[in-house]
Amino acid sequence: MRNIVDLFLTASQAHPNNIAIIEKDDKIDYNTLEKQVKQTAMMLLSKGINKGDRVLIFVPMSINLYRIVLAVFYIGAVAVFLDEWVNKSRMEICCRIAKCKAFAAGNKIRVLSFLSRELREIPIKIGTKSESDERTLEQVEVMDLDDTALITFTTGSTGTPKAANRTHRFLNEQFKALLKEINPKPFDIDMPVLPIVLLCNLAVGATSVIADFNPRKPAKMKTSKVIDQIVKNKVNRITASPFFFDHISSFLFPKKGTLRKIEKIFTGGAPVFPEQVKKYQKVFSNSEINIAYGSTEAEPISLIKGEDLLKYEKEIANKGLCVGKLYSEIELKIIKIVDDVIETKDDELSEIEVGNKEVGEIVVAGNHVLISYFNNGKALKRNKIFTQNKVWHRTGDSGRIENKKLYLLGRCNQLIKNQNSYLSPFVYEYIIRNHLGFSCGTVLDIDNVITLIIESNGKSLKSIPGEILKYDSVIYLKKIPRDPRHYSKIDYAKLSTMLKKKY
């Protein structure tokens, strides 16, 4: 393989008549998609886009999105992705970092681009409709495997966005890692709500059904419509964030409805707790439940089956959330929690590694672990540890290793120092939901006062024994903000801003 698009082309040659993507009532087979990719590649060259040029792609999950992305790879250009939910100011920061030559978007976004100086200054504008020109580009651009193929942004609400530099080599290694664990087959019909997984499906000849909902407004998902899609298209596996499965389960569980034809579900991107798995087991009654822990820079890190997670339910309050055994191709260490750049020449990190069962920051290394960011030296120094022979990625997550299994305790910067140990908001969130019966809640240190934050519409907290939760006061909110990407984690930045305004 000399270009990541070769994976798609090989699958297309092997399975030309397989349906590649189903989008609402539209569908396209591999043979037709390959032809359109080659036509689009010719169009990109005719517009003046060449090898190494960066193309900002602001297109929702669709047939057009993957046609354009594959064409960009085909000519050796670089696809630059922004999450659909990113706001205008963050988008403009990303544009300044990436310095794109071209911008691909639908008519609505292209019209709105006139309101943004950064988008106006991108010289080449491309629509999303397939070209009528029949000319095709038959020669794939041969790449150095360390050339950049894809740039994706981790667009949090504060700080400079990190641009993940995904080379052709990295994407190939990530594909091999996901292929080993997700294991899609040419006869599978998958509903991949995570965009990178659809690319993996296109590399093996599987069919992908795009879920009919707006990821910018996940809370407004019309669940019955998505379920109809699943049934109509005979979907046999789903890959999505926990939020998606929670929505499906919450809709069907009270009605004792099931989706018996789903054979496998894969979820990740946010923590999955035992009470969620129990619902999944009822609704996806014939399905194997697989849960991956990972990050933008390293996916997967560890994996656990739903039935195994239930075995460690009673351990959560004391040990954290068990996320299973490590992926076979990854190296993982637990190091001291340090809020600063870490420099060391020790490949094994022995000078900063903590002991067995101790809490620290999770760091990882491996072929499918991202080793660089684009135009962001500060993020590189802060998030990587460079040793003589390895590059370790700092996940920012806290955890511990016990009996060769990884346990999570949440983000390092959210742990609350309590004498010689830590209080974990992550564990508090589980107890508040599972033991106290609230939909959402956490704990914060507010001016040295350990404060529970509870999402509640009138229901108040009863007295809790101190050995279960340590706290000094309680604040009730009607709604605790969630992250805009997966809508599964608490958005701590927004929560802090909300509390400052309210109290």
Question: E strand or H helix at 210, and its extent?
Answer: strand 207-210
- Please give the pLDDT value at position 137: 93
Band (pLDDT 50/70/90 cuts) for residue 156 is: low
Domain assignment present for residue 259? The answer is no
**Statement to judge: residues 30 and 100 lie in one domain:** yes
**Statement to judge: residues 142 and 45 lie in one domain:** yes
Q: Average the pLDDT over 263-267 and give the result.
A: 97
**Statement to judge: residues 344 and 485 lie in one domain:** no
Number of domains the chain contains: 3
User: Which residue blocks in 132-291 are alpha helix, DSSP H?
Assistant: 168-182, 195-202, 223-232, 242-252, 274-283
Q: Average the pLDDT over 331-340 and give the result.
A: 96
pLDDT of 158 above 60: no
- Please report where in the chains the tokens 């060391």 appear, as a residue: 344
CATH, residue 41: 3.40.50.980
State which of 388, 414, 440 marks the end of a domain: 414
**Statement to judge: residues 400 and 442 lie in one domain:** no
Higher-confidence residue of 459 and 312: namely 312
Domain assignment present for residue 255? The answer is no
Neighbours of 332 (CB within 10 A): 19
SS3 category, 102: strand
Q: Average the pLDDT over 238-261 and give the result.
A: 94
User: Which residue blocks in 414-458 are alpha helix, DSSP H?
Assistant: 425-434
**Statement to judge: residues 401 and 359 lie in one domain:** yes
Band (pLDDT 50/70/90 cuts) for residue 305 is: very high
Q: Helix-strand-coil percent breakdown of the chain, rounded to 5?
A: 35, 25, 40
Band (pLDDT 50/70/90 cuts) for residue 439 is: confident
Q: What is the pLDDT of residues 73-124, one digit of tens each?
A: 999 999 998 766 677 787 888 888 899 999 998 876 666 666 788 888 999 9
Closest CA to 443 of 407, 480, 408, 478: 480
CB within 8 A of 163, min separation 6: which ones? 94, 97, 98, 151, 152, 153, 373, 374, 375, 376
CB within 8 A of 489, min separation 6: which ones? 270, 271, 482, 483
| 224 touches 253 (CB < 8 A) | no
Tell how strand 54-58 and strand 26-29 pair up: unpaired
- Please give the pLDDT value at position 220: 82
Domain that holds residue 115: 5-174
The per-residue pLDDT of the chain, averaged, comes to: 90
Band (pLDDT 50/70/90 cuts) for residue 42 is: very high
Domain assignment present for residue 113? The answer is yes
State which of 174, 208, 234 marks the end of a domain: 174
Q: Average the pLDDT over 261-273 and give the result.
A: 94
Higher-confidence residue of 216 and 474: namely 474
- Please give the pLDDT value at position 496: 84
Q: Please give the Cα distance from 117 to 107 (Å, whole number).
A: 17
- Please give the pLDDT value at position 459: 72
**Statement to judge: residues 136 and 30 lie in one domain:** yes
| DSSP classification of residue 51 | T
Domain assignment present for residue 380? The answer is yes
Domain assignment present for residue 286? The answer is no
| 328 touches 179 (CB < 8 A) | no
Q: What is the pLDDT of residues 475-484, one digit of tens each?
A: 999 899 987 6
Check the CA dihedral 38-44-47-48 and report its sign: negative
State which of 174, 197, 230 marks the end of a domain: 174
Domain assignment present for residue 455? The answer is yes
pLDDT of 63 above 70: yes
Closest CA to 375 of 55, 94, 156: 94
**Statement to judge: residues 168 and 24 lie in one domain:** yes
Q: Please give the Cα distance from 310 to 255 (Å, whole number).
A: 24
HEC-encoded secondary structure of 285-300: CCCEEEEEEEECCEEE
CATH, residue 334: 2.30.38.10
